[in-house]
Amino acid sequence: MSELSLKTHYSVAELLSFKLSSLPSAHKNVLEKAIRENWQSQKRKGRGGGVEYELISLPTEVQQEIRTKLLKLLPAEISKGELSVVRQNIDLEQITDKQLSTADARIMVVRWFLMQEVQLGLSRTKTLDQVIAAVASSEIPAEICKAIMAGNSKAGGKLKLSKRTLHSWVLAYEAGENSAERLKQMIPLKTQKRAVPERCGWLQAFLPFYQTFSNVALTQAYAQFAMQYEGEDLPTESQVRYALKQLPDYVVQQGRKLPVKKIRLAR
199-208 pLDDT, tens digit per residue, is: 577 888 888 8
Q: How many CA atoms does the CB half-sphere of 121 hold within 13 Å?
A: 13
Integer Cα distance of 22 and 16 in angstroms: 11
Task: Classify burial at 197, counting beta carbons within 10 Å of its beta carbon; exposed 0-12, middle 13-18, buried 19 or more.
Answer: middle
How many structural domains is the chain composed of?
A: 3
Integer Cα distance of 202 and 199 in angstroms: 9
Residue 176 has pLDDT above 70, yes or no: yes
| Residue 179 within any structural domain of the chain | yes
Residue 191 has pLDDT above 70, yes or no: no
The more confidently predicted of residues 226 and 8 is 226
**136, 219: one domain:** no
**101, 136: one domain:** yes
**154, 230: one domain:** no
pLDDT digits (tens, 9 = 90+) for 208-248: 888 887 778 888 888 888 877 777 778 888 888 888 887 77
Task: Classify burial at 243, counting beta carbons within 10 Å of its beta carbon; exposed 0-12, middle 13-18, buried 19 or more.
Answer: buried
| Structural domain ending residue among the three candidates 58, 74, 94 | 58
The mean per-residue pLDDT over the stretch 5-34 comes to 87
**Residue 142: closest CA among 112, 98, 167, 182:** 112
Q: Are 59 and 154 in contact (CB under 8 A)?
A: no
- Return the amino acid letter for 12: V
Confidence at residue 258, expressed as pLDDT on a 0 to 100 scale: 58
How large a percentage of the chain has pLDDT more than 90? Answer: 17
142-160 burial, b for 16+ CB within 10 Å, e for fewer? eebeebbbbbbeeeeeeee
| Phi, psi values for residue 77, rounded to 5° | -90, -15
Please report, for residues 10, 11, 51, 76, the alpha-carbon distance to residue 45 in angstroms, rounded to integers and kept in the order given: 11, 11, 8, 28
| Residue 207 within any structural domain of the chain | yes
The more confidently predicted of residues 229 and 149 is 149
| Residue 2 within any structural domain of the chain | no
Please report, for residues 131, 253, 265, the alpha-carbon distance to residue 108 in angstroms, rounded to integers and kept in the order given: 14, 52, 68
Please report, for residues 123, 161, 202, 233, the alpha-carbon distance to residue 230 in angstroms, rounded to integers and kept in the order given: 57, 49, 10, 9
**175, 207: one domain:** no
Confidence at residue 70, expressed as pLDDT on a 0 to 100 scale: 66
Confidence at residue 38, expressed as pLDDT on a 0 to 100 scale: 92
Which H/E stretch holds residue 52? strand 51-54
pLDDT digits (tens, 9 = 90+) for 73-123: 544 333 334 444 445 666 666 667 777 778 888 889 999 999 999 888 888
The mean per-residue pLDDT over the stretch 19-41 comes to 92
> 0.85 cut: is pTM over it?
no
Q: Where does the pLDDT of residue 127 fall: very low under 50, low under 70, confident under 90, or very high at 90 and above?
A: very high
Distance between start and end Cα atoms, the chain? 96
**168, 208: one domain:** no
Confidence at residue 60, expressed as pLDDT on a 0 to 100 scale: 84
Q: Are 210 and 218 in contact (CB under 8 A)?
A: yes
Integer Cα distance of 96 and 28 in angstroms: 59
| Structural domain ending residue among the three candidates 132, 154, 186 | 186
**235, 142: one domain:** no
Confidence at residue 87, expressed as pLDDT on a 0 to 100 scale: 58
Task: Classify burial at 176, counting beta carbons within 10 Å of its beta carbon; exposed 0-12, middle 13-18, buried 19 or more.
Answer: buried
Spatial strand order of the sheet with 51-54 comes to: 9-10, 51-54, 41-43
| Residue 180 within any structural domain of the chain | yes
**149, 104: one domain:** yes
| Residue 258 within any structural domain of the chain | no
**182, 207: one domain:** no
| Residue 264 within any structural domain of the chain | no
Q: Where does the pLDDT of residue 183 fall: very low under 50, low under 70, confident under 90, or very high at 90 and above?
A: confident
Report the chain's mean pLDDT, rounded to a whole number: 77
| Residue 114 within any structural domain of the chain | yes
User: Domain limits at 244?
Assistant: 197-252
Q: Where does the pLDDT of residue 33 fall: very low under 50, low under 70, confident under 90, or very high at 90 and above?
A: very high
